Structure 1
């Protein structure tokens, strides 16, 4: 089963093999073991400025030649010639941050996304969709039902649904609906009962259980750490379908030109499952996992975690820490308050850190002690201050240089201040930005944070000027997997209403492409393996119908992926 509306939106918007030791290998006794691509816009992404090659040659899954067509044909006369017919060839797209497992899980859930991803307009639409889902799938009373993608800011009522709303149509099924941000959700009465959330429940540290006005009764909305039991329960129940949707999920990524994907926070059982799929030869793309920080105590001893090293196309690169929430959900942690009402907060509402400074300090110490790469979810500037403090503390305690090449990655870093970007440079930390927010929630950010803060959303241009190597991601399922839409959002920074969210931070198309190719390879310490078309690197390619550097910026989102090639083998081809 494929995620119908989700995939339609994307498509409309937009083996470790034998090494070749020498590019001058004698081809006289071979027949089409090489492929020579020519007659198109071949963008190498090998430098800080756009460079083109007339031809690129692949052999045994690796690039063995980049240069003139004449020289390529001379050295590789027996190569199979692939005429690009004017199309564009780039290094395969590298996903800096998404949630492969969550994308797969959505295939067994109710799609509650608003336009343009889905069709939900109001709460009544949500209720009708839930009713239809139960009926069409013959789901019996008592069985859990999960939904994903609803966005209170895009609902006509401009509020979250409540347990009372859901109880009207599904009183006999426990129901949990995940917010589009991934940082909160709504449970109905039966779901709350099953997970022991009631009027006597206290807010967990770093979380909030919303109550009805003048009452202790939960509305069903659980935010940040308060949602963790519900998400954990959901993942446990949906785990039985992992294998069913695994291949479909890979195909989905490949259809968007992605040759290396990420699972942005993976529990131990899922790591074992993915490795089993990889060991069975089922991976067609490379898949990088980030372990949860609960694994920091055990990752050194446990041989099932293959940190930083691929095994059959899969590796655990590092550790993920969630340090705050979502800006559109008003749980990201800022030094200055939100300008609009925040659920569960009366005054000086600056959002929520998910962890205390002491806890973050401890996690950094453990990670840095074992040379474990950290990836920290942080949206608000106050959270980024906490991350910088934890970095400084760990280096001091361990007597390590502040600027050691650890490549600590600040995931999202959406509202990093200019002075914090300078600190990133000094400490060799790198941001992975999220410019899709400009389109999906740019208008909300202007309203909730003011024009000045909103305009500095995911400041790719400022980061680049300072010498940083920013990446840019979809955070799927938060926004759809669509690298070319992500490029479009970085270049144009247009909101749903058509407003420009930060004119000065509009990226060039080339910088936007670097963020999902060469810079993304650097993020994962893979710059010698992927991210550009250079001799010796993997032959991971994507072929596009148009050149993002040569068309009108507003048309970039309409570019089509025609073919995706992983180590010389086609893994997707548009019909």
Structure 2
């Protein structure tokens, strides 16, 4: 039996009684909350943890990310904040030299964003062929929805000038030849075919990535899209016992049978901190990449509103599968037209099956959800998981793409809060770091990188932002009875912060540091 008694700091419970004087943890669970002197006298055998004025609160819960992609990114060329084509070329060449990459071996690069480049466009295939003449290369945009491939890569993937566009995707061509750019399903379907690194290297990267998540105070994380290629690795991770953080995976609904075969015993129940939580599908693309499916035109492109990834009939069929199998479904929706499609088909599927089954469907990202759509979201019991950090990281791009008035309403958290809708926040790692405190800061301030406020009316109180990444996220996972607040019999998933986010100036929240993270009472990270 192991006991820990926390005292002498702000203990933020997120329950009706917001603060506690002391908390007793026993065998991985919250045993008691109460007066410090009383708990101390009754538990002299406990390890006494003096918070020294710091803040103890429920640990953060990642409502949506791609953990394996985050881990795998550590084995790739990072193009984060590249400034121009020359910078991209230099980073790739340095990676090849540093890692002694043999000719013919695939090179992966990530975090590409042409919006930050001096050229304000993407390099074409001739440039890539010159930089990497002897290796196939694939470069993923930060959004994960499009990317670049050189001629050797196109050959390896079997893509030619005559290859037709897949449904929900585009293979770009210029002057009668491939230009290297693949969009949506043309990219997503092919990136899965690129060979992975060695298992040994991948497992090292997984352990490093897991420590990164813990350093941000996270004790539950997500695998946002499991494809068959990933299933074997996840099965190994589940059986090896290498995970110290709860890891919840959502499988490609179209490939569910293949994946379930390999992950038996993990469906809706944890095995060594790993479980399958439900299904995932995509309905549109990226707002900064101008592929989010919209009800109104993009700025500067009359008549262009992007496109859906699938038909309404197909989506309705997939939702019916989820309802019949009583599995939660997550749908990637950025544009308001994609949200409209999800709302309509979910409602139809429930009516067709005549079911009251509540699978808590999640609207992943919900960037451009219309304010007029929120009442229906509430009525259907759907959960928006807002990628609110877009306000800071790409707010200026949204203004360019949608105009100031429309861009000001991205991630309408305050409107959702006013309607009593449970919503969560996420970072979609590896798109950005899984930094919960930065996300809380953004949700409360809504400042862009230049300091300008985008959508002041959608700012929310600090407590509501904290709840979005703790108790609401626990609810999203059907785990509100065991996670999300400090309450007797819940898991002792806790984080110590150097300051109380409810007591500092709202602009200083992102400067708060994670001091220590506990998973079921065990310290898994210490600064």
1:490 and 1:537 map into 2 onto residues whose CA distance is: 27
Partner of 1:45: 14
SS of 1:563's partner is strand
8 A contact 1:110–1:148 mirrored in 2: yes
The Cα shift of 1:70 comes to 2.7
Query: 1:239 deviation in Å?
Result: 5.7
Residue 353 (str. 1) matches residue 308 (str. 2): yes
Q: Classify 1:250/1:339 alpha carbon distance in 2 versus 1 (closer, same or farther; 3 Å).
A: same
CA distance in structure 2 between the partners assigned to 1:122 and 1:496 by the alignment: 19
Aligned to 1:78: 45
Question: Does the aligned pair in 2 maintain the 1:296–1:367 contact within 8 Å?
Answer: no
1:298 Cα deviation after fit: 6.0
Indicate how the Cα distance of structure 1 residues 194 and 272 shifts in structure 2: closer, same or farther if over 3 A, else same.
closer
Q: 1:136 aligns with which of 98, 108, 111?
A: 98
Shift of 1:275: 3.5
Counterpart residue number, 1:35? 4
Structure 1 residue 305: deviation in Å? 5.9
Q: In the aligned structure 2, how far is the partner of 1:349 from the partner of 1:393?
A: 28
Q: Please name the residue that 1:16 is paired with.
A: none
What is the aligned counterpart of 1:390 among 335, 345, 348? 345
Q: Distance in 2 between matches of 1:301 and 1:241?
A: 25
Once the two structures are overlaid, the 10-residue window that deviates more, 202-211 or 148-157, is 202-211
Q: How many residues get paired? A: 527
Deviations 1:379-437 (A, max 9, x none): 00000111011111211211113xx4321111011111122111111011110001110
Shift of 1:242: 2.4
Following superposition, the deviation at residue 295 of structure 1 comes to: 3.2
CA contact (8 A) 1:296 1:366 kept: no
Secondary structure of the structure 1 residue equivalent to 2:411 = coil
The equivalent residue for 2:36 is 69
Shift in alpha-carbon separation, 1:281–1:196, aligned structure 2, 3 A = closer
Deviation at residue 495 of structure 1 after TM alignment = 0.9
Partner of 1:434: 387
Secondary structure of 1:234 counterpart: coil
Q: Secondary structure at the match of 1:478?
A: coil
Tell me the equivalent position of 1:335: 295
Whole-Å separation in 2 of the counterparts to 1:234 and 1:325: 21
Contact residue 368 and residue 411 of structure 2 kept, 8 A: yes
Report what 1:369 is aligned to: 324
Q: Distance in 2 between matches of 1:61 and 1:374?
A: 30
Deviation, 1:198, is: 2.1
Query: Is 1:156 matched up with 2:109?
Result: no
- Report the 3-state secondary structure (helix = DSSP H, G, I; strand = E; otherwise coil) of the residue aligned with 2:193: helix
Structure 2 unaligned blocks of 5 or more = none
Do structure 1's residue 108 and structure 2's residue 42 form an aligned pair? no
| TM-align CA RMSD | 1.7
SS of 1:501's equivalent in the other structure is: coil
CA distance, structure 2, for counterparts of residue 238 and residue 324 of structure 1: 32
Distance 1:296 1:274, change over 3 A: closer
Matched, 1:456 2:425: no
Cα 1:121–1:302, aligned 2, differ >3 Å: closer, same or farther? closer
Q: TM-score, normalised by structure 2?
A: 0.97
**Structure 2 CA distance for aligned equivalents of residues 311 and 330 of structure 1:** 40
Match of 2:425 in 1: 472
Structure 1 position 60 matched with structure 2 position 22: no
Report the 3-state secondary structure (helix = DSSP H, G, I; strand = E; otherwise coil) of the residue aligned with 1:279. Answer: helix
